[in-house]
Amino acid sequence: LCRLAMTYKTVYVASICVHVNPQQAVRAMLEADAYPGPSLIVAYSPCISQGYAMAESIQHCQLAVDSGYWPLFRYNPELAASGNNPFQLDSK
């Protein structure tokens, strides 16, 4: 969904996980709110209905981000207008 939205080049897109990097999540929400066009934020958040115990959700999220299964990123088309890369990878 994120990659499809980024192909339009006019949509702010972010992939977040509040349990792993709350600062990145807040930054993405603030940037999305300030963006003058459409915005899409996709969050990773396992729950007990998916078979994950709530006591293990933070560790599960950390594993998903660390393994690269759920990359944290922000795509801001306004950066391209100023000659900068609109894609910013926030996870390693």
pLDDT tens digits along 46-69: 888 888 788 888 999 999 999 999
DSSP-assigned states of every residue in 23-84:
HHHHHHHHHHHH-SS-EEEEE----GGGT--GGGHHHHHHHHHHHTSS--EEE-HHHHHTTS
* Res 1: pLDDT: 94
What's the order of all strands across the beta sheet hosting 87-89? 39-43, 12-16, 73-75, 87-89
Do residues 29 and 74 touch, judged by C-beta distance below 8 A? no
How much of the chain exceeds pLDDT 70, in percent?
100
